[in-house]
Amino acid sequence: MPVDAELEMRVSRIALVAHDQMKDRMIDWARTHADVLSKFELFGTGTTGGRIADEVQLQITPLKSGPLGGDAQIGAMIAEGRLDMLIFFIDPMSALPHDVDVKSLLRLATLYNTILAINEATASRVLNCVLPTD
């Protein structure tokens, strides 16, 4: 699919995060897009990052589990300009014990104008519009 010149963005660092009930979907999505994802520096929280490394064989920098500080680590990366894109598969049907952390992370992504995708359709579309920095 050709990239629309107006949508073309240069990205080098992507964080991949998924709530518990969305981890399998994230793994399937990452497997489908592994060739493209392999061109970027990837970060992943807890189990999500570990599973992507093990099951999809992508190089990914592991962070802490979301509720144990991984969300905060990603938030700090966004605030410090060390993250270009956040793909966060959120489970809309489950109550989240760390909902405040999730809201904070989404707020930071919005505040710092970070590319943000919270579902597969958006993540796939946006990934087709970004180019790795050289």
CATH number of the domain that 115 lies in?
3.40.50.1380
The reply to whether 72 falls in a domain is yes
- Domain span at residue 119? 9-132
Q: Which of 35, 71, 84, 134 is catalytic?
A: 71
Tokens standing for 26?
């994230």
Number of domains composing the chain:
1
d(CA 23, CA 7): 28
Q: What is the mean pLDDT of the chain?
A: 89
Q: What is the pTM of this model?
A: 0.89
**Does 29 have pLDDT greater than 70?**
yes
- Note if 71 is an active site residue: yes
88: left (phi over 0), alpha (psi -120 to 50) or beta: beta
Task: For 59-87, write each residue's pLDDT tens digit.
Answer: 999 999 988 899 999 999 999 999 999 99
Lowest mean pLDDT among 53-57, 96-100, 116-120: 96-100
> 24 pLDDT band (50/70/90 cuts)?
very high
The reply to whether 1 falls in a domain is no
